[in-house]
Structure 1
Amino acid sequence: MFELGDLVIMKKSHACGQNRFEVIRLGADIKICCMGCGHIIMMPRRDFSKRLKKIATKQPDVKIEQESHYVTLDQLQKPKI
């Protein structure tokens, strides 16, 4: 399954032409960030699972130098409760 920080490939590409996304939030809704333009998309987990083609790279294997929009787990903001 997918985890926080994974790079995934979706069945349909984004408007910018890129179909690679980074998972930046997990829960009932999944938030993904386009690796082409940095646009953030939020969708229900069920829709995400239907639209997911494959997991390109697991979070520990990502080479940060090669990914311009990649956000590490340390850089994610903690929710203010």
Structure 2
Amino acid sequence: MKLNKLNYEVGDIVKLKKPHPCGSFDWKILRVGMDFRLQCEGCEHQIMVSRKVIEKSTRKLIKSTCTKENSMI
């Protein structure tokens, strides 16, 4: 059982184990919930994936530099 759950937020970049057919491993998170909407950083293709699949296949989580306070200005 994996206890260190990652805190996924909109705008973060997720590096997955397997590449997209375009060759990119990096995906931008557009929506968070039981399902995630991800956008490929290589070709901008969007997909919906379950949280379970994302938690299993995440290699690295790169937090976005934009915070909620900065985005409201």
TM tier, smaller: 0.7 to 0.9
Q: Percent identity?
A: 35
- TM normalised by structure 1 equals 0.70
Structure 2 match to 1:79: none
Q: Do structure 1's residue 19 and structure 2's residue 1 form an aligned pair?
A: no
Structure 2 match to 1:33: 39
| Structure 1: unaligned runs, 5 residues or longer | 62-72, 75-81
Structure 1 match to 2:55: 49
- Tell me the CA shift for residue 60 of structure 1: 1.5
User: Which letter does structure 2 place at the counterpart of 1:49?
Assistant: E
User: Which letter does structure 1 place at the counterpart of 2:46?
Assistant: I
Higher helix share: 1
Aligned Cα RMSD in Å? 1.7
Structure 2 match to 1:70: none
- TM normalised by structure 2 equals 0.77
Instruction: State the number of aligned residues.
Output: 62
| Structure 2: unaligned runs, 5 residues or longer | 1-6
User: Which letter does structure 2 place at the counterpart of 1:60?
Assistant: T
| Structure 1 segments of 4+ aligned residues over 6 angstroms from their partners | none
